[in-house]
Structure 1
Amino acid sequence: MALTDLAVRNAKPGPTLIRIADERSLSLEISPNGGKRWRFRYRFNGKAKMLSLGVYPDVSLKDAREHRDEARSLLAQGIDPGEVRKAQKAEAEIDENTFERVAREWFGKFQPTWSPSHADRIIRRFEKDIFPWVSNRPIRDILAPELLTVVQRIEARGRIETAHRALQNCGQVFRYAIATGRADRNPASDLLGALPPVKEKHHPSITDPKEIAPLLRSMDSYQVSCPRLGERLR
């Protein structure tokens, strides 16, 4: 006998699991704690299987029947609806765990602790030099050679320091991914020494003895105010 909305709403739990049948292998399971879940039972390649179609009342009787009919349609085509569900779930997990998704999540958590200018430099670095190449890649699948190729594109423009900073930021994202269970290792740490070092910038120094004396006199006459002591220091 087919279920009705009223029957589903008024169904009460018992000391053990209760299963109330609807039409075409759809049933409503009621657990002892009162939870209600839709189940579709079917056979595929001679094996008995079961597919969960959602929890009542989030999934109504009408919705559950529509999900059942979709599953039956797949069976008619020789497709296991349970395997389709697994593939959809895996795809959804990949979408949530792409490098860009994780990087933006990391950025959102730490952005409040940075100055606006620092935060802007970091996100622009990602959007310009990192995301175009690994945006949709599952972060768990990115290995050191792939990451090296990304930062070497920055190096090829002569921006060695930017390449180092980009690699550092990527390393921070990977460490965050490891901490949140979405990556197993940090490939950025494997690239230590893979980029050429940043050239030190030397400031010009005074080498002419005639120029040293005026500098010393200027330093001697310079006075600094010290508010905490309420006096002037030479």
Structure 2
Amino acid sequence: MALPSPSDLIPDANDQNNYCSTCDKTFTKRHNYLSHLSCSHLDKMSELYRGIDCKSPVMHRYCADCQKVFLSKIFYQIHLDKIHDIKPSKPHKSLPGADDPDVNDPKNYCSSCDKTYFNKRKYRRHLIEVHNLILPSKAQPRVKASNTKPVVDNLKNYCNVCNRVYKPMESYRCHMFRYHHIATRPTESLSSHVNRNKVPNPWHHAT
């Protein structure tokens, strides 16, 4: 007898180890496991949104018309959509919590959806649109002190007022012009450059 392929297996929603037999993956949190089942295996597990018989109401996941309870609020919302044709209202945006995906994950991995994104921008957009998370803006605030002028350091692209180093020259020039109102040019004379590593030679005479 041949063993069944993983695609033929149906995960157990009540698995104590949060193990998905179809994908051969184990989730650390039950919330992430149930979110994975709702995203990837709902077509094979219709009982998840059909509910379990229960006459005692459970807050946020109990259907009074069907007298059924659901494993999570996600399945309750799917039940309202598929069985009663009631579209769930758009949830309010909230700050990331302990059960939400890690916003600063270096691999751009969403633990709830079990997906990895190519770059940070798409990952942040996914968290905002799909998980309704409020993410802090990455934009740098404007400098309040208008009378503070930084030393132009085109060699290291360093801003001593903001204490930041910019790798591309274009980003450094844009920062200086945008936040400090200083226009820099790549062809500026060397006298306007600051080299913090080079020791000056007192015996060198300019010709």
TM-score, normalised relative to structure 2: 0.26
More helix by share: 1
More strand by share: 1
